[in-house]
Each structure stands twice: as C-alpha cells, then as structure tokens.
Amino acid sequence: MAFLDHPSKRITPAHRSRIGGLYERGGKRVFDLAVCLLLLPFVGFVILLLWWLATAIGSSGFFGHKRVGRNGVVFHCWKIRTMIANADRALLLVFKQSPDTKNEWEMNRKLENDPRVLPFGKFLRRTSLDELPQIWNVIRGDMSLVGPRPVTRSELSLFGDARKDYLSVRPGITGLWQVKARRVPCYIRRVKLDRRYARNVTFGQDLRILLWTLPVLFRATGR
C-alpha cells in the first residue's frame, strides 16, 4: 500500500533551483554546521548525562537505527536507547498478543502505548531528548537540522510519488511535521508535510521551524 499525493502542479528541477537558491545548494549545510558547533558544548553534556542514565538502568545507552537519507544513502540514525533489546522481534510478539496494534502500526508507524518502551524512555520520547545524539548525524552530513523525518526503507515504500521529494533533501532532526502535526497520528499527513518542505527549502522557513520547535518540545507531546 502506498500513500499517494497527486499535486496539481509539477515542480521542475529548474524551478526548485530558483526557489532554493544559494541556501539550498550550500548555505543550508553551512547553517547546520554553525548551529551544531555553537550548541555542541551544552548539547554534548546533556547527551553524556542521558547516556549515563540509560546505561545505569541496564540499557546500552546509544542506539543506531538504519534510515534512508538523501539520494537513498542508508545511515545509522543515533538516539538514546528508549526500548528494550531486540525491539523489532518484540514487536511481532506485540502483534500476536494484540492484533489491533498491527493496524495501528501500519497506519501510523508508531504505537500510542508501546509496551517495548522503557520507563525512562517514555520521558525521553515525550520530550524528544532521545534524539539529541542526531546532532552527530548533522555534523557528519547524514541529516540536517530541519527536514523530513528520517525513515526506514520499508517506510519509504509508503511515500508513493513523494519518494523522489524525500530523497532530494537531507532528513532533519525537526521539520514541518513536528511543529504542525506531531500530535496527529496520521502518516498520510506526515508524507504531505515532508513533500511540501522538500519542494520549498528556504532559510526563512528553516529558521521559523527551529523557533517553532522549542515550544513543541516544552509541551512534551512526543511518542
């Protein structure tokens, strides 16, 4: 099954180039590095503290999950571990014990009450603090501060025609979906917002999304 979004107007590569301009072609990367290096001393301390707390409760601390990035390049998206070990296998057991959860997963790629999440992990997810290690992904060039949420290869198959748009930009730590529809469990909506962002990458939009992200984090609406 694919979530198809048929736009009424096609945007050509030439049009994309005019829209994005110098920022999309290189300024965005410079902006990412400048902000990351500025935040690294503080963020690095918080990451180490969360890693220590995660290991103290029996977790391995960091968790790298394979995601698809720009131009289809697969990379390890880093997080503070919030789930039990072998979470992918445990998901199959969850489906067997509660068949309704499989439908929820297929629609949203998330579970509202995921039994695999550790108690400490629930707090990290609500505040999105588990995603702080992705600053390393940004520095490496796997991700950007702002962009579509990084997806797995199986999720990418759900994007339909929007697949090309997703692959044309770096995935982001935050993005339109996080600030506009984070509390709305609808994957179709997420795909549309990711496509909308990828087709209009500007410095002004990135700056607004970063500013909008702060109050969203304080409301602790993550899952």
| Max CA separation in the chain (angstroms) | 53
The rounded distance, in Å, linking the Cα atoms of 191 and 77 is: 19
- For the entire predicted model, the pTM comes to 0.79
pLDDT given for residue 76 in this prediction: 96
What are residue 16's phi and psi, to 5 degrees? Answer: -60, -40
pLDDT given for residue 4 in this prediction: 39
What are residue 74's phi and psi, to 5 degrees? Answer: -90, 135
pLDDT given for residue 2 in this prediction: 46
Residue 52, both tokens? 């220590």
The rounded distance, in Å, linking the Cα atoms of 218 and 154 is: 31
pLDDT given for residue 113 in this prediction: 74
For the chain, domain boundaries: 21-82+117-218
Residue 180, both tokens? 């506009």
* Cβ atoms of 124 and 134 closer than 8 Å: no
Distances (CA, A) of 138 to 34, 65, 96, 148, 199: 11, 15, 37, 13, 20
pLDDT given for residue 11 in this prediction: 46
Angle 87-97/99-108 helices, nearest 10 degrees? 130
Per-residue model confidence as pLDDT tens for the chain (223 residues): 444 344 444 445 554 455 457 898 899 999 999 999 999 999 999 999 999 888 887 667 888 989 999 999 999 999 998 887 777 777 777 777 777 777 777 666 777 777 777 778 888 888 888 999 999 999 999 999 999 999 999 889 888 889 999 999 999 999 998 888 766 667 888 899 999 999 999 999 999 999 988 776 656 555 5
Identify the residue whose tokens are 């797995």.
152
pLDDT given for residue 114 in this prediction: 75
